[in-house]
Chains A and B, each alone.
Chain A
Amino acid sequence: MDSSEIQKLANLAMIEIDDSQVSEVAARISDVLALVDQLQAADTDNVTPMAHPLDTVQRLRSDEVNEPNRREAFQAIAPESENGLYLVPKVIDAG
């Protein structure tokens, strides 16, 4: 894992990593990947991947509104909101 690969990953994960820390992060992630590479030795031919420990499927419910609208309570804890909207820096330039 080199520095440019780490920056690419950090970009995908939307995490800012300071340039001074990139090589340390790369080294530690390489440690983890060395560990997980042990999996490659396992014989998994014809083994179905297991997504759920009890192999159950998602439960469905009837399509009815069952939760009250609590927009105000949820927006009260937002960093910035106005008139029922969450505020973020301008995304589309007017010009």
Chain B
Amino acid sequence: MHRQSISELAQSLRDKKFSSVELTQHYLDRIKRIDPQLNSYVTVTEEIALAQAKIADERLASGDSNPLCGIPIAHKDIFCTEGVRTSCGSKMLDNFVPPYNATVVENYLDAGAVMLGKVNMDEFAMGSSNETSYYGPVKNPWDTRCVPGGSSGGSAASVAAMLAAGATATDTGGSIRQPASHCGLTGIKPTYGRASRYGMIAFASSLDQAGVLTRSAKDAAIMMNSLISFDQKDSTSVDVAKEDYLQNLETSVEGITIGVPKEYFGDGLKIETAALVQEAIDQYEKMGAKIKEISLPHSSLAVPAYYVIAPAECSANLSRFDGVRYGYRCENPKDLEDLYKRSRGEAFGEEVKRRILVGTYALSAGYFDAYYNKAQQVRRLIKQDFDEAFKDVDVIMGPTCTSPAFKFDSKGSDPVAMYLEDIYTIATNLAGLPGLSIPCGLVDNKPVGLQIIGPAFAEGKLLNIAHQFQLATDFHTLTAPDLD
């Protein structure tokens, strides 16, 4: 039953082929059997899952029409779950049991979805390989010698190995799209402000956005229908009318104009990846889309601007972890300063400390203009590139990553090698735009992703365009080798 899509599962539940309790138990058994090879779950919430499944079965019996009712999903361990440890992949929050739910978690509860557990991630969502997690790296189900991508590596690996029907995730610089690419999934990051950030542990508040990872665009549309909501509790939530993402999936792509930025096909892009991405764009042309070469001239400045803005915001956000109100506290502090310094020094991992220090530097007296202000100016230039492009094209397409998933420990000690992993995804976060990745083929039996970027609030269009590709091709139906 785990091979069925979310819409097929929804139908099976209504046809009484199996109950949500049976389906949930099936997934829990798979997690127990298979996940020790992957490490995608930090916490499996067996009792809660079965209790939620029982409620879902009652709702289904009384005619509940939500397609997520009774569907087992996983939540990234960055979303606060009342009564369930929320670690954010960090020793700092290893003992943190939130007294409230994130709005995103509430939305899925309302839909009747079943929470199987909390999935692994890079510490505080800082990383592109899941190697920075306090709970150890997650392995890629396609090749367990390789990373699943990050930071939403647990979300991606659990869905790719069919240990959850879908998963929530977050994307600050590519943390949904890059793992989607590396694990052969559909992953969407909505427009900034579209999904609530309430109860989603903050990394870089002007960039963070919740999204979903699934095995098809149609499944993503179903998950998005519950993810998106206007939320008074999030001061940057945008009050734009909710849309039904299933409604326009069937619209033809005939006549749309696809922009292909020349900067996304430069040095660094592996030739085999470029070929598959080009074939996918050719497929769209066959389906009636017009292709237009465009330029996003400030693309090369996206990574440098991001590594000022994200660390600056991270250094402010993570100042709340002080060993006083919740989370880790060091043993026998000799005074208050010692308590702060050792609690933070002992509980944050290397990458997190590095970003806090870089952010502290960029915001410190004498450097603010040269770094932070400059980066915010460049951010506007990057946004203007997209504004210009979208005057002529409906969406932009290119690779999600330069190459397929890489092996563990292969990036060396220079953090910049890892930062460049997000070279094609970061600009969309800086500009606040929606982006999506869908699988478009395999290189050495490892998936490659096609990235589709849209103007603000075009997530419905992105899902439609992705779905049309998946009607015409079968890359999204390829699954990782059976680990059972």
* B266 CB-CB contact with A under 8 Å: no
- Residue contact B377 to A49, C-beta cutoff 8 Å: yes
- Residue contact A33 to B340, C-beta cutoff 8 Å: no
**Range of interface residues on B (Cβ < 8 Å):** 35 or more
B-contacting residues, A28-53, CB 8 Å: 28-29, 31-40, 42, 44, 47-53
Chain B contact residues, majority secondary structure? helix
- Residue contact A59 to B373, C-beta cutoff 8 Å: no
Using Cβ atoms and an 8 Å threshold, which residues of chain B touch A40? 370, 374
Q: How many residues of A contact B (CB 8 A)?
A: 50
- Residue contact B353 to A42, C-beta cutoff 8 Å: no
- Interface Cβ pair total, 8 Å cutoff: 176
- Residue contact A14 to B337, C-beta cutoff 8 Å: yes
Chain A contact residues, majority secondary structure? loop
* B392 CB-CB contact with A under 8 Å: no
- Residue contact A31 to B415, C-beta cutoff 8 Å: yes
- Residue contact A78 to B416, C-beta cutoff 8 Å: no
- Residue contact A32 to B415, C-beta cutoff 8 Å: yes
CB distance from B144 to the nearest CB of A (A): 28
CB distance from B377 to the nearest CB of A (A): 4
- Residue contact B356 to A13, C-beta cutoff 8 Å: yes
Q: List 26 A-B contacts (CB under 8 A).
A: A9-B360, A9-B364, A14-B341, A15-B344, A15-B357, A25-B354, A25-B357, A29-B361, A32-B307, A35-B416, A36-B304, A42-B374, A44-B374, A44-B381, A47-B377, A48-B377, A49-B377, A49-B380, A53-B206, A54-B192, A54-B432, A54-B456, A59-B239, A76-B99, A77-B97, A89-B334
17 additional contacts (CB under 8 A) given A54-B456, A89-B339, A91-B336: A9-B361, A13-B360, A14-B322, A15-B344, A15-B348, A28-B354, A35-B419, A36-B358, A36-B375, A39-B301, A39-B375, A42-B378, A47-B380, A52-B206, A79-B326, A88-B336, A89-B336
| Residues of B participating in the A interface, judged by any CB pair closer than 8 Å | 96-100, 191-193, 206-207, 232, 235-236, 238-239, 298, 300-301, 303-305, 307-308, 311, 315, 319, 322-327, 329, 333-342, 344-346, 348, 353-354, 356-358, 360-362, 364, 370-371, 373-381, 383, 413-416, 419, 430-433, 456
